[in-house]
Amino acid sequence: MSINKSSSCASGEYLVLGEMLRRGYECYLANGPTQNGWDIVVLNEHGANIRIQVKTIDWPEKNAINGKLDHGFDILIAVLLQRNMPQAKYVIASLDEIEPYLSAVSTDESTNRGKNGGKERTLNLGEKFETQEGKKDLKVDELGWEHLKQLINNLTTHSTGPTQKASKSG
């Protein structure tokens, strides 16, 4: 059974939203064009709005996550749909954590990435969650959800985007 890209994207967003609600987060699905660059907003204990970008791929058949992956959100959750398995896998990372693994910005207009104004970048994940450099330091599944808790609690927002929470001196 073939599922179109729009249905695949929506299923990933709802899977993430459902898992986050199940884990007790106060979170909401974005609606409309004003939330360009993110799909879910989470309110943390400090009252900050944390923007989550959800990207969904049919994994392991496809391992490239494409898009504007270097701005507009605080945390990326990649949903790896395994069509022949009952559960998806999740890769969870902050914007800063994925930056070293992103492809260069393409300006070649003969490619899809270049046609979109050279703003799209790619994150490649291999079958064992390796990046193109063969590193395995991205957080997956339960480790990823624990990592998400830390990311959400350690971020605050201001007009220019996320920053790490100031440590308490004492």
How far, in Å, CA of 140 to CA of 127, rounded?
12
Residue 77: partners with Cβ closer than 8 Å, 6 or more residues away? 16, 52, 53, 54, 55, 90, 91, 92, 144, 148
Asked if the model's pLDDT at residue 56 lies above 80, the reply is yes
What is the per-residue pLDDT across 102-131, written as a single tens digit (0 to 9) for each?
A: 888 866 666 554 555 557 888 887 665 555
Asked if the model's pLDDT at residue 83 lies above 60, the reply is yes
Comparing CA positions, the residue from 119, 138, 130 lying closest to residue 37 is: 119
Specify the residue for token string 């749909």.
Answer: 81
Q: Under DSSP, is residue 29 helix (H, G, I), strand (E, B) or coil?
A: strand
How far, in Å, CA of 144 to CA of 112, rounded?
30
Q: Which of 1-10, 14-23, 42-51, 65-74 has the highest mean pLDDT?
A: 14-23
Cβ proximity of 74 and 161 under 8 Å: yes
What is the per-residue pLDDT across 28-47, written as a single tens digit (0 to 9) for each?
A: 998 876 677 899 999 988 88
Query: Considering the entire predicted model, what is its pTM?
Result: 0.79
H helices then E strands: how many in the chain?
4, 10
Confidence of residue 158 (pLDDT cuts 50, 70, 90): very low
CATH number of 5-60+74-102+136-157: 3.40.1350.10
Specify the residue for token string 């990372």.
Answer: 93
